[in-house]
Amino acid sequence: MIDYPLLSLLIWLPVAGGAALLAMDALGNPGCRLMALLVSVVTFLLSLSLYTNFDFTTAIMQYQESVPWIDAISANYHLGVDGISMPLIILTTFTTVLVVLAGWEVIREKTAQYMAAFLIMEGLMNGVFAALDAVLFYVFWEAMLIPMFLIIGVWGGPRRVYATIKFFLYTFLGSVFMLVALIYMYLQADSFSILDFHLLPLGMTEQILIFIAFLLAFAVKVPMWPVHTWLPDAHVEAPTGGSVILAAIMLKIGGYGFLRFSLPITPDASHALDWLIILMSLVAVVYIGFVALVQEDMKKLIAYSSIAHMGFVTLGIFLVFTLLDNTGSVNGAALGMEGGMVQMISHGFISGALFLCVGVLYDRMHSRQISDYGGVVNTMPVFAAFMVLFAMANSGLPGTSGFVGEFMVILASFKANFWFALLAATTLILGAAYSLWMVKRVIFGDVANDKVAQLQDVNAREFVILASLAAVVLLFGVYPAPLTEIMHASVDSLLAHVSVSKLPPPETGVALLESIRPAGP
């Protein structure tokens, strides 16, 4: 058993490390890169203790810490993780190590501030996944925007100011509605405990309004169609490390929010409005897939690909009500939800790897335009092998982690509704189309120009980064059990919770429920 505050260490060690880097820079100490790497590696190793000491058989929050924080509003410093949040913390700590390595030689100006921003953001994102108090969650949720805002705004491309303002306004405005919902629930529960919110007997009208407030916050974060337009701009202008964290971690916080807040707090409204989320998810899978096909910028193509793949996450999560209605089986509904969660983790590795591949090319040629490349395999064969692997994983190739989550969600879709499955399965075609078409134009063929002819293959540092990601993508593609076993108990508990109506007696919400939910599947 862990007898020290592990979650607090995972939050505050990176934050303290970031502060130390700023102090070292102010004192003229040149060892900021080594310090950043040391802090990120130690944090990652500590996070592995979450897995090795985790009890897979229970849905109870583990590694809990709780001390009074703001007595006047009954807010506590309350932390804990379950099978839903724990994998996301490990994903965060693992990705941060790679981001520090990726910026090792590339970032030459304000290096200490760059590394500090990522370490501080790592701690804040761990706080989002671990917080069990709504005020604490909201503080971490908003605070993590600041380092990303600075990363894009200081180290980004020529349109970085526009991208940062658009990113900040979209995410901040969505969060305001969530804050109103949290305050309302505090007034009902006389507590800011998220677990207490799960037990509130809210009426149908209350649930719908709270659900919409959460939707406005989480849909922007995922991002779901039609509030996705900030993401391609942010990715294009962000430095490579910013794009990796944005795609691999920050997008997952929206999916996590649906699982931690929307479903357990407003199950009846989630049931009534599941058709809306399923519609938005399927539009993202199909329409955004076609949008990705026409992109000429590699970063934009991968950004749109991320939106399409995150549509699978929200689809898997909200299929559960249709599956419960059709089969009455919690086990059947668990397939879709676990598929969405596996897709979140898998997409974190694959999208991060693809953005790192683009970064490797950009560092050498300072261009992301597909038309500027061609025949890279002739001069960078090792790099080409990695990029082809990650493109295949992005297409859902069996044997890679990209296949597992998508297959689970498609299988659940078949159980729910044939047309859902048909539309969802188009991602296997569209994903292969835009991923492999990009690879064909960038990697294969004759050497396109003199700049490509002079390219140097990956160095030892880049090889370690890409090989680490390749190993994880293949491991979870061949043997996903270490990932899925973590989730079972928490998913089953959540499904048991949402399958029971929370409407208080007398039953006043049935007519409204039936009027909102459309006829048919």
The H-or-E segment that residue 504 falls in is none
CA distance 126 to 93: 8
Instruction: In the chain, count H helices and then E strands.
Output: 26, 2
**The pLDDT value given to residue 521:** 45
| Residue 151: both structure tokens together | 């990363």
CA 163 vs CA 99, 108, 148: distances in Å: 21, 22, 11
Question: In angstroms, rounded to a whole number, what is the distance separating the alpha carbons of residues 202 and 101?
Answer: 48
61: exposed, middle or buried (C-beta count within 10 Å: 0-12, 13-18, 19+)?
middle
Question: Which sign does the torsion angle of CA 355, 361, 367, 372 carry?
Answer: negative
Residue 382, both tokens:
């090792």
Q: How far apart (Å, rounded) are the C-alpha atoms in residues 64 and 307? A: 33
Token output for 516: 């909102």
Read off the tokens for 181. 């919902």
pTM of the model: 0.90
Backbone phi, then psi, for 68, in 5-degree steps?
-60, 145
Amino acid letter at 376? V
Maximum CA pair distance of the chain? Answer: 76
User: What is the Cα Rg of the chain in Å?
Assistant: 22
Neighbours of 56 (CB within 10 A): 12
Residue type at position 299: K
For residue 99, what are its two tokens?
Answer: 């981001």
User: How high is the pLDDT of residue 39?
Assistant: 93
Other Cβ atoms closer than 10 A to 214: 25
Residue 108 CA to its chain's centroid (Å):
29
pLDDT tens, per residue, the chain with 521 residues: 567 799 999 999 999 999 988 888 776 667 788 888 999 999 999 999 999 888 888 888 889 999 998 888 888 999 999 989 999 999 999 999 999 998 888 877 888 888 999 999 999 999 999 999 999 999 999 998 889 888 888 887 788 888 888 888 888 888 889 999 999 999 988 889 998 898 888 888 889 999 999 999 898 888 888 888 888 888 888 888 888 998 888 888 988 999 999 899 998 888 888 889 989 889 888 888 888 888 888 888 988 888 888 888 888 888 888 877 776 666 667 888 888 889 889 989 999 999 999 988 988 888 888 888 888 888 889 999 999 999 999 888 888 988 888 888 888 888 888 888 888 888 788 888 888 888 988 888 888 788 888 888 888 899 999 999 999 999 999 998 888 888 888 888 888 777 766 666 654 444 444 555 555 54
Contact yes or no for 164/238 (Cβ under 8 A): no
- Is residue 117 within 8 Å of 156, Cβ to Cβ? no
Give the Cα separation of 376 and 13 in Å (integer): 41
Tell me what pLDDT residue 80 has. 92
Q: How far apart are CA 309 and CA 302, in angstroms?
A: 10
Pick left, alpha or beta for residue 110 (phi over 0 → left; psi -120 to 50 → alpha; otherwise beta). left
Q: Are 266 and 207 in contact (CB under 8 A)?
A: yes
d(Cα 246, Cα 371) in Å, to the nearest integer? 25
**Beta-carbon-side half-sphere exposure of residue 3 (alpha carbons within 13 Å):** 0
